[in-house]
Amino acid sequence: MYLWALKIHIGCIYRDASLRFDIKDASSPFMLDVSDFTHEVWLFQRLYEVWTNGGTTNPAPFGSVFIINSPNPTPRFDFMHCLVTGTVAINIGDKFIFVALWDQGDGMHADIIEQWQTWHAPRLQSLRGSDEFDANCYLAPHVWACESAYWLYRHRRAFSILKTRQQIILVPPFARPEGASHKEAEYRQVCKNFGLDLVHYNGETSNIYRPIQFPS
């Protein structure tokens, strides 16, 4: 699942690198430069190489993978990709999949899944049968994924790579650095990648969101 999400991430990078900011202007700059993501592309190629040879990684996987039951009453497809935080989120049928690609598995040891189970899921159940239920079935996983992605991004550690033919080992720093501060302007940009408009900013918690409105 992790490798699949990483493949999607790399594919989106290449796709965006083929698109111009102004599609009507052939001289307009491209949206992305693939050379800015050389390390990520290289790592995906090495992970795929080891995987096809039956090898292993440590940690396994390099990131965190969360799979929850989709709150949507009917099966649907939904996709979110955030370059800044290095995350992919997909709703397929009755499952919602959230993958943090570069957190070294830190998310699996945090309270991220508990946040869904103890806050978002019970709140959705309390709204079942109300006029707000359908809208919140969309908002809840988007908000959960967005807030989790930004937290993991701010607390991400640098790492080095050791590789053999059969194994790739991620080597974290000796000491865990203090996480970066929560920045409103940066977070607003992250929210857009998750289809969210940040209506009111309160910092770490109690933010107010609505689905982003695209011009018709």
Q: Are 89 and 53 in contact (CB under 8 A)?
A: no
- Closest C-alpha among 91, 81, 70 to residue 6: 81
How do residues 185-208 score in pLDDT, each as one tens digit? 999 999 999 999 999 999 888 899
**Rounded CA gap, 13 and 116, in Å?**
29
* Spans of the chain, pLDDT less than 70: 214-216
pLDDT at 216: 57
pLDDT at 111: 95
pLDDT at 195: 95
Task: Read off the tokens for 200.
Answer: 């009111």
pLDDT at 34: 80
Q: What share of the chain is helix, strand, coil (3-state, %, to 5)?
A: 40, 25, 35
pTM of the predicted structure, to 2 decimals:
0.90
The H or E element that residue 79 is part of is strand 76-82
